[in-house]
């Protein structure tokens, strides 16, 4: 049998007598008969446990981390994993050989990691394995050509793990003991939540189920594997760059609504559109998986500002369409900003965060339009051109954007569907934003003219009509005549 079982009872010296296989008691052997290799009891060195964080545990070796591997016996180390606490991470083992300690010999250090039972190679072994009929382990080897070896075990079994190191030299007769040469090996053992923190194409996440806590990598950009290192279906650099540019540059569709808002004297609404365009662009530049990433501030801040700007753009547009009094409109703007901020803190990805404010604003607009129509005894807006060429296209575009966002957008088509969402929302704002009120235009024209003294009358228009929406055949009616 190429391996022998080591002692699992703790520290012992090399001269300890072998236990009986029946009752575990020790019996002295005759001095003339040396102990059999399979009955030798090797010392086991314990490790010191140092907990840093969840699944972040380092196992330190006394007088380490460089360990000496003697030529005549294995060096065995014990690693104890606690139940429940240590089962949801990754057990990492790293071995690095000090080639200068080989003294020019063609030596190889074999490492065998086993659960519950230590396995050590016998002398004059012609081949090295790390298993018996009942026990199977992990075999590693390091030499002057390949001095570094790593092993990672996801979700390891709890209990005791034993690492056995044994050095052999290659000769014409096979693997033999290296005489008086002692190999030096740098040993590092630790628990981590994820492999290499999932790299640039993944994110390490924790999951709790049935009182057990597990860590796993959530891979992006088509990458897969335990540490998001499998690029069989990964997106190319060109595709990542294209998707990033598409999501960022699609926000330029907010430029026309900003121009329309400024020309119609909707300065507050224009400020909201600029805010949305800015933070949506840099949020999507920071949100991309892989290497095409650019963040100007913390990711969570960019995400919150992007979502808040998108909802506020819908809110201020619909409230502006209601044609409310300036004081009422400003109060609703401020109240909407505070309530939307609260809703985003509760659930940032909820569908009702978009539908709720939109429906509430539409309700306010419907009430305002109905009251104005009853007071004037005429449908509001008063002209069919406004309905046909502005309101109907804007409503259809906005409804299409909401349907895409709610029912079509997935992780696979996110790049182009969300870009289409940007363009549709910006386009609908350009159609739905009402024109400048006529009284504002008249005030802008008459405010620059000096008032003539001695003028007997002043025309006072009580009603505010939308610029360009008055039927020219009906003429302008004067609501009242006031003495100056």
The answer to whether 478 touches 458, Cβ cutoff 8 Å, is no
Question: 């007071």: which residue's tokens?
Answer: 375
Give the pLDDT score at 438.
Answer: 61
CA torsion angle for 28, 30, 32, 34 (degrees, to 10)?
A: -40
Give the pLDDT score at 378.
Answer: 86
Give CA angle at 406 (403, 410), nearest 5°: 115
Domain 3-24+36-192 has CATH 3.40.718.10: no
pLDDT single digits (tens) 10-29 = 333 333 333 333 333 333 33
Question: What mean pLDDT is reported for the chain?
Answer: 79
Burial of 300 (0-12, 13-18, 19+ CB in 10 A): exposed
Residue ranges of the chain with per-residue pLDDT less than 50: 1-39, 123-124, 440-484
Q: Are strands 47-53 and 44-45 parallel, antiparallel or unpaired?
A: unpaired
Take residue 70 and report the two structure tokens written for it. 């003697």
Give the pLDDT score at 71.
Answer: 83
- Distances from the Cα of 317 to the Cα of 9, 232, 245, 390, 418, angstroms: 76, 46, 27, 14, 21
The answer to whether 328 touches 368, Cβ cutoff 8 Å, is no
Give the pLDDT score at 122.
Answer: 54
- Distances from the Cα of 305 to the Cα of 85, 101, 285, 319, 376, angstroms: 38, 59, 14, 21, 41
Give the pLDDT score at 3.
Answer: 39
The answer to whether 422 touches 310, Cβ cutoff 8 Å, is no
Give the pLDDT score at 468.
Answer: 38
CATH of domain 194-234: 2.10.25
State yes or no: cis peptide before 381, omega within 30 of 0. Answer: yes
- Domain segments of the chain: what residues? 3-24+36-192, 194-234, 237-436
């Amino acid at each position: 049998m190429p391996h022998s079982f080591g002692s699992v009872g703790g520290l012992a010296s090399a001269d300890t007598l072998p236990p009986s296989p029946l009752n575990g008691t020790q019996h002295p052997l005759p001095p003339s008969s040396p102990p059999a290799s399979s009955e030798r009891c090797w010392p086991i060195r314990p490790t010191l446990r140092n907990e840093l964080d969840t699944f972040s545990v380092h196992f330190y070796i006394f007088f380490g981390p460089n360990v000496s591997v003697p030529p005549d016996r294995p060096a065995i180390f014990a690693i104890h994993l606690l139940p429940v606490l240590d089962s949801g991470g990754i057990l990492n083992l790293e071995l690095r050989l000090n080639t200068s300690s080989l003294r020019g010999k063609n030596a190889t250090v074999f490492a065998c990691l086993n659960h519950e039972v230590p396995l050590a190679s016998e002398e004059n072994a012609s081949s090295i394995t790390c298993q018996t009929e009942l026990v199977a382990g992990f075999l590693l080897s390091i030499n002057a050509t390949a001095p570094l070896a790593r092993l990672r075990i996801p979700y390891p079994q709890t209990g005791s793990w034993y690492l056995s190191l044994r050095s052999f030299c290659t000769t014409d007769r096979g693997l033999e003991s290296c005489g008086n040469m002692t190999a030096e090996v740098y040993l590092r053992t630790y628990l981590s939540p994820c492999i290499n923190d999932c790299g640039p194409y993944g994110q390490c996440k924790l999951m709790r189920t049935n009182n057990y806590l597990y860590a796993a990598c959530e891979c992006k950009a088509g990458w897969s594997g335990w540490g998001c290192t499998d690029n069989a279906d990964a997106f190319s650099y060109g595709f990542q760059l294209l998707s990033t540019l598409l999501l960022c540059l699609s926000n330029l569709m907010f430029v026309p609504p900003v121009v329309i808002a400024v020309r119609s004297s909707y300065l507050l609404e224009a400020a909201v559109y600029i805010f949305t365009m800015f933070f949506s662009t840099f949020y999507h530049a920071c949100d991309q998986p892989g290497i095409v990433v650019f963040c100007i501030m913390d990711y969570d801040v960019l995400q919150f500002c992007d979502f808040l700007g998108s909802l506020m753009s819908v809110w201020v547009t619909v409230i502006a369409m209601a044609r409310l009094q300036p004081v009422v409109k400003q109060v609703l703007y401020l109240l909407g900003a505070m309530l939307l901020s609260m809703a985003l803190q509760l659930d940032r990805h909820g569908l009702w965060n978009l539908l709720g404010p939109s429906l509430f604003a539409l309700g306010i607009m419907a009430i305002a339009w109905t009251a104005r129509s009853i007071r004037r005894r005429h449908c509001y807006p008063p002209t069919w051109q406004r309905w046909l060429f502005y309101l109907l296209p804007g409503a259809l575009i906005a409804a299409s954007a909401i349907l895409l966002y709610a029912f079509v957008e997935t992780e696979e088509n996110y790049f182009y569907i969300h870009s289409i969402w940007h363009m549709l929302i910006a386009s609908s704002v350009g159609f739905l934003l009402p024109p400048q009120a006529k009284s504002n235009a008249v005030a802008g024209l008459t405010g620059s003219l000096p008032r003539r003294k001695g003028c007997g009358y002043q025309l006072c228009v009580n009603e505010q009509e939308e610029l360009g929406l008055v039927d020219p055949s009906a003429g302008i009616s004067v609501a009242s005549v006031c003495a100056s």
